[in-house]
Structure 1
Amino acid sequence: MALTKSVSEIIEGDSSGLLAIHPSWERVPLAEVGCVLNGFPFDSAQFSNSEGIPLVRIRDVVSGETRTFYVGAFDSSYVVRAGDLLVGMDGDFNTARWRSADALLNQRVCKIEIDARFYVPGLLDRVLPAYLGAIHAETSSVTVKHLSSRTIEDIRLPLPPLAEQHRLAEKLDELFTELDAGVAELLAAQKKLAQYRQSLLKAAVEGALTADWRAVHPPQESGEALLARILQERRARWEARQLDKFKAQGKAPPKGWQTKYTEPLSPQTNELPALPQGWTWASLGQLLESLSSGSRDWSPYYDRGSCVFVMAQNVRAWRPDFSFRQFVDPPLGDRDRARSEVKKDDLLVTIVGANTGQVCRIDTELDSHFVCQSVALLRLVQADSSEYVNAVLNSEGHGQLQFREMNYGAGRPHLSFDQLESVRIPLPPFEEQLEIVKQVESALTATKQMESEFVHLCRQAAAQRQNILHSAFTGQLVPQDLADEPASALLARIRAERAEVEAAKKSPGRKKAAA
C-alpha cells in the first residue's frame, strides 16, 4: 500500500468539486478538531458467535451490525456506542455511524471523535466520504488498499463559520432524507431480487429446480459414477505431469513413483442431508486438477506492461469485473506464470481480506491474465462442470455458508487451500448439471433487466447527491450571513485552545504535580 500524493496535493488536484470550499471559509486538519482512535487487535481465539460483547470488524462498518462477539477482557476505551463515527481502514475506506448496541472496536477499524464546539458532527458525516474517496483513488495497492490514521488526521476539512455549519447540516439532512427514502426503496427491491437469486441457486444445487426434468430423464451416468471417472482422470493427469518432469530432467521414472500421488479427501457425509437419487457428495478437492494462487515475487514488475494482475476487487459473485485493471509485466521465463495464468472455465476465489469467499467463473478466453496472491485459481478436471460448481460455491446455503464457517473467528478473513479443497459439493449426473445451468441462466437473464434499471436509478440518485454536496461545499446551498463569526476567527479559537493545551502539557508545574 502507498499513498501516491499528500492529502494537500489530493485536495489541490481535485476536479470533482467535492473537495472545494467557499472563498470565505478556512480549512482545518481533522486532528485539530477531533481525534482518531485505532481499533485493538483482539485475540481471535476468544471470538464467539453468541456470547460476550459484540465486536465491530471492518465488514460491519456499513451494515452497522455484527455477528461476532468477544469473550475476553478489554479496555473500555475501545467501546463503540450507537452514533459513533467509524471508518474502515482496508478495502473501500467506508465510513458510517454505528447503529447497534455497544461493541468493541477491532483492528483496522477506527473511531473519530469530533469536538462539536468547533465542528458540527452532522456536517462531518457529509464531508468525510468525499475526502476518503479521493484518498482511496490515490492509494496504490497490490492486493487490498490500506488507510492510516495519520492520513485521516491530515485531512484538511472545509471550515465554514460555526453558524453556517449548522445551517448546512440541517439543509443537507432535509434534502438527503427524501433522497435516502427513494434509495432505500430501490435497495429493498434489489435485496428482494438478490433473495430470489439465492432461492434459485439453492433450489438448483439441491435438485428441486430440476425435479420434474429428472423424473423423465433417467441419467446415463450417476453422480457417483461421474465422480469415479473424474478421480481416475485426475490421477491420470497427475501421472502424465510427473512423466513429463522426469523426461525434461532426462531421468527414468524411479521405482514406486506412482505411490507419491496424494488422494484427495472424501467428504464426511454422515451428517449431510440426503440428495436426490443419482446424486452424490464430493469434496471440491476431488474435482480439482489444480489449485494455486499468484506469485509473491512480482513486486518489481507491478504497474507496467500489458499483462493483467487479477486482484481481489476483480472477483465478484458469479462473473469477474475488470472495470479496474492492475498491470504487471513478469518475465516470460518466470516459473510462476504457468501456474497463475487464468484460462476459460477457471474458478477464482478471493482468499484474503474483506471480500474473502467471493467466487466467479471465467466464461471467456483471456490473454495474459494472472491471479495475485489474494486470489485462488481453481481448475476442474472436468471443465464443463465449472458453471455448476460456480453455482454451488455462490449459493448462500452451500459454498458461501461453508466459507463463512471457515472464516469465523479469524482476525483477518482468509481461506487456506486445505479449506477450499474440503468444501462439500452436491454432485448430480453431468446431464442434469447441464440442465441446471440452462435453467439458472434463463432465470438470471430475466432478472438482469430489472437489475440494470435499479442500477440506473441508483446512479441517478448518486449524481443528484453529488450535485447537492457540490453546492453545499462551494457555499451555494445556504446563504452566508455577515453576522456569523468569521471562519478565520473560528480557526484562531481552535488553534489558541490547542496551544493552551500543549503549553499545559509542557508546564513544569504540571510535571511536579504529577510527580
Structure 2
Amino acid sequence: MALTVSLDDIVAGGNSLLAAKPHWERVRLGDVGQVLNGYAFKAELFTRDGGMPLIRIRDVGSPASETFYSGDFDERYVVSAGDLLVGMDGDFNCARWRGPLSLLNQRVCKITVDEALYLPRFLDYVLPGYLKAINDATSSITVKHLSSRTIQDIPLPLPPLDEQREIVAELEKQFSRLDEAVANLQRVKANLKRYKASVLKAAVEGRLVETEASLAHREDRTYETGEQLLQRILEERRTKWALKKKYVEPATAERSLIESVPEGWAEASVEQISQLVEYGSSSKTSDDLTGIPVLRMGNIFEGELRFDELKYLPSDHEEFPKLLLKDGDLLFNRTNSPELVGKVAVFRSKPTNYSFASYLIRVRTLAGALPEFLAAYINSSFGRQWVKSVVTQQVGQANVNGTKLQALSVPLPPFPEQTRIVAEVDRHLSIIREVEAEVDTNLKRAQALRQSTLAKAFGVEGRQI
C-alpha cells in the first residue's frame, strides 16, 4: 500500500532526523531536483550473462547486478556510477550506484539535484531519514510501495550552500572514524561466517573430532562401523514399514560430494536413513493465537529455528495430529530465493505443539542417524553445492523437491562419533553466536551514534529517534 499520511504531518511528528534549524527554509525535493522512474523492461529479455546490466530493487546498495537486459533501450535510463537510486518497494532503500553503466528498471528511481541549490552529498545525509519515516508511516498488508510523487513532495531542509558544505565536511570527518569501526565489525561478522563454514566442513569430513576408527585402534577394541550401522538402520526401516504397507527398498546412495570419507564411515541416501519425508500444510493460516503455531521458511535462520512472527492453524485442523512436529524432526526449506533454498534446522520439543507449512519438508530420521548431523551436512558447503546442482528455478523462486532430497547422499559415521561431532559443532556454534550477538550490539550502538550525530547536524541537540 501507499502513504496515506501527509508528509508535512510526518515532519511535524518530532522525528529528530527530519529537523531543521530555525533559520533554514524548506523546499520540496522536486523543486531542487528531478526524479526519473525506471522503465518496465521486458522480462523475457532478461539474461544472466549478456547485454546491459539491469538495476532492480534488490540491487540498490549493491556494487553490481546479476541481471542483464539484451534488448534495445532509451539512453535516458542509463545509470552511471555515483547516481543516487531509491528502491520504491519494501524498505525504500537509497544509495549511490557503485557499479558499471547499467539500466534503471521499474520500481527503482534516480534522483538528480541542481547542485547550484543543493549539494548531492548533503542530500545523501538528509534523504535516508525521510525515506525511513515515510516507510514507517506507510501501512501495508503485503509489500510497501513508494511513489515518485511522494519523493518529489519531500520537504527537505535548505541551509545556505556554504552551511551545507560545512555540515558535509564535519559529518564526513566524524563518520570516517565511525565507518572504519563499522567496517571492522562487519569484517568480524564475515570472519565468523567463514569460521562457521569451516567448522561444518570439518565436521562432515571427519576432521573435527577423533574418528571412532582411530579411537578403536588406539584402545585396541572393536566398534560398529558406519556400514554396519547403516544395515541396522535399514533393518529398523523394514520393520517399521512392514507395520504399514508393502516395503519398498530405498534408493542406495551414490557417491557424496566428499572426496574421501574417513575409515569406518559409510554413505547413505536420505531415504535410507529416514522413516518419514513429507511436505507441510498448504492450508491458510491466521493470527489467531489460540491455534497451533505453524513454522514457515522465515523461521529457519542460520541453521536454527526462530519462534517469532508465527502464523496459526486451528487446533482442530483436519491435518492434525498428522502434521504436528515431533522432537528431532528436521525441516528442509524446499522453496525460496536461490540463495536461501535448502536451508535446514532441527526441531526440538517445545511446551506446545507446532506444525509446519508447505514450503518446508519434514525429515524424520531413524535411530542411529542424528538429525543434527544430517543438518550439518546440508548446511555445509557440500550441501550448498548439492542444492545448486539439483535446484530448479522459475519466476525468481528456486525449488528442491522431496524426491531430490531423498536421493541426497550423505556421510554416515559410527553413532558414537556422530554424537561427539554434533556436540563439538554445537560448542563452536555457541561461541560464534555469542560473538555475533556482541558484534550486533556494537553495530546498533554505531547506528545510534550516527543518528544522534545527524540529529545534531540538523539542529536537534542530544535527541535520538
The TM-score, its normalising length taken from structure 1, stands at 0.71
1: distance between equivalents of 2:296 and 2:140? 10
3-state secondary structure, aligned to 2:303: coil
Residue 221 of structure 1 aligns with an amino acid whose one-letter code is E
1: distance between equivalents of 2:37 and 2:447? 28
Contact 2:84-2:111 at 8 Å conserved across structures:
yes
Give 1:295 deviation, angstroms: 2.5
Residue 258 of structure 1 aligns with an amino acid whose one-letter code is K
Change (3 A) 1:388 1:155: farther
Residue 113 of structure 1 aligns with an amino acid whose one-letter code is I
1: distance between equivalents of 2:256 and 2:430? 37
Q: Which residue in the other structure is 1:222 paired with?
A: 225
1: distance between equivalents of 2:388 and 2:105? 18
User: Is 1:389 aligned with 2:392?
Assistant: no
Residue 26 of structure 1 aligns with an amino acid whose one-letter code is R
Tell me which of 318, 339, 346 is aligned to 2:329: 346
Q: Which residue in the other structure is 1:113 paired with?
A: 111
Give 1:402 deviation, angstroms: 3.0
Residue 198 of structure 1 aligns with an amino acid whose one-letter code is A
Give 1:160 deviation, angstroms: 1.5
Tell me which of 379, 382, 387 is aligned to 1:398: 382
Change (3 A) 1:239 1:303: same
What does the per-residue CA deviation read over 1:146-195, in whole Å, with 9 as the maximum and x for residues that have no partner?
34343884585341126255544444333222210111112112222221
Q: Which residue in the other structure is 1:36 paired with?
A: 37
Contact 1:318-1:394 at 8 Å conserved across structures:
yes
Q: Which residue in the other structure is 1:17 paired with?
A: 16
3-state secondary structure, aligned to 2:38: strand
| Aligned residue runs from structure 1 range 353-502, under 5 A | 353=337, 355-365=340-350, 367-373=352-358, 375-382=359-366, 385-395=370-380, 397-405=381-389, 411-418=395-402, 419-474=404-459
Change (3 A) 1:154 1:370: farther
Change (3 A) 1:125 1:404: farther
Give the 4+ runs in structure 1 shifted more than 6 A: 29-32, 138-142
| Aligned residue runs from structure 1 range 78-477, under 5 A | 79-87=78-86, 94-103=93-102, 110-117=108-115, 119-134=118-133, 146-150=143-147, 153=150, 156-161=153-158, 163=161, 164-211=163-210, 214-217=213-216, 220-231=223-234, 233-234=236-237, 237=240, 240=243, 243=244, 258=246, 265-269=251-255, 273-288=259-274, 289-298=276-285, 301-302=286-287, 305=290, 307-322=292-307, 324-328=308-312, 330-338=313-321, 341-350=324-333, 351-353=335-337, 355-365=340-350, 367-373=352-358, 375-382=359-366, 385-395=370-380, 397-405=381-389, 411-418=395-402, 419-474=404-459
Contact 2:205-2:258 at 8 Å conserved across structures:
no
Q: Which runs of 5+ in 1 are unaligned?
A: 244-256, 478-515
Contact 2:292-2:314 at 8 Å conserved across structures:
no
Contact 1:7-1:135 at 8 Å conserved across structures:
no
Contact 2:51-2:71 at 8 Å conserved across structures:
no
Contact 2:281-2:356 at 8 Å conserved across structures:
yes
Give 1:390 deviation, angstroms: 2.0
Give 1:222 deviation, angstroms: 3.2
Contact 2:224-2:414 at 8 Å conserved across structures:
yes
Aligned-pair identity (%):
30
What does the per-residue CA deviation read over 1:103-144, in whole Å, with 9 as the maximum and x for residues that have no partner?
45567x6243333456543344334444554565567788xx
Contact 2:267-2:409 at 8 Å conserved across structures:
yes
What does the per-residue CA deviation read over 1:291-314, in whole Å, with 9 as the maximum and x for residues that have no partner?
32343423xx33654654434443
What does the per-residue CA deviation read over 1:178-221, in whole Å, with 9 as the maximum and x for residues that have no partner?
21011111211222222122111111111122355541137743
Change (3 A) 1:11 1:225: farther
Change (3 A) 1:457 1:149: closer
CA RMSD of aligned residues (A): 4.1
Residue 293 of structure 1 aligns with an amino acid whose one-letter code is G
Contact 1:197-1:444 at 8 Å conserved across structures:
yes
Contact 2:266-2:413 at 8 Å conserved across structures:
yes
Change (3 A) 1:157 1:333: same
Give 1:235 deviation, angstroms: 5.9
Give 1:372 deviation, angstroms: 4.3
Give 1:440 deviation, angstroms: 1.7
Give 1:378 deviation, angstroms: 2.4
Q: Which runs of 5+ in 2 are unaligned?
A: none
Contact 2:63-2:97 at 8 Å conserved across structures:
yes
Q: How many residues of Structure 1 are paired with residues of Structure 2 in the alignment?
A: 447
Q: Give the structure with the larger helix fraction.
A: 1
Residue 391 of structure 1 aligns with an amino acid whose one-letter code is A
2: distance between equivalents of 1:343 and 1:367? 11
2: distance between equivalents of 1:120 and 1:378? 55
Give 1:35 deviation, angstroms: 2.6
Q: Which residue in the other structure is 1:26 paired with?
A: 26
Residue 389 of structure 1 aligns with an amino acid whose one-letter code is L
Contact 1:186-1:458 at 8 Å conserved across structures:
yes
1: distance between equivalents of 2:42 and 2:63? 20
Residue 156 of structure 2 aligns with an amino acid whose one-letter code is L
2: distance between equivalents of 1:366 and 1:10? 46
Contact 2:20-2:458 at 8 Å conserved across structures:
yes
Change (3 A) 1:408 1:379: closer
Contact 1:85-1:95 at 8 Å conserved across structures:
yes
1: distance between equivalents of 2:224 and 2:295? 37
Change (3 A) 1:349 1:270: closer
1: distance between equivalents of 2:3 and 2:21? 27
Change (3 A) 1:306 1:428: same
Give 1:317 deviation, angstroms: 0.5
Change (3 A) 1:400 1:133: farther
Give 1:457 deviation, angstroms: 2.1
Residue 110 of structure 1 aligns with an amino acid whose one-letter code is V
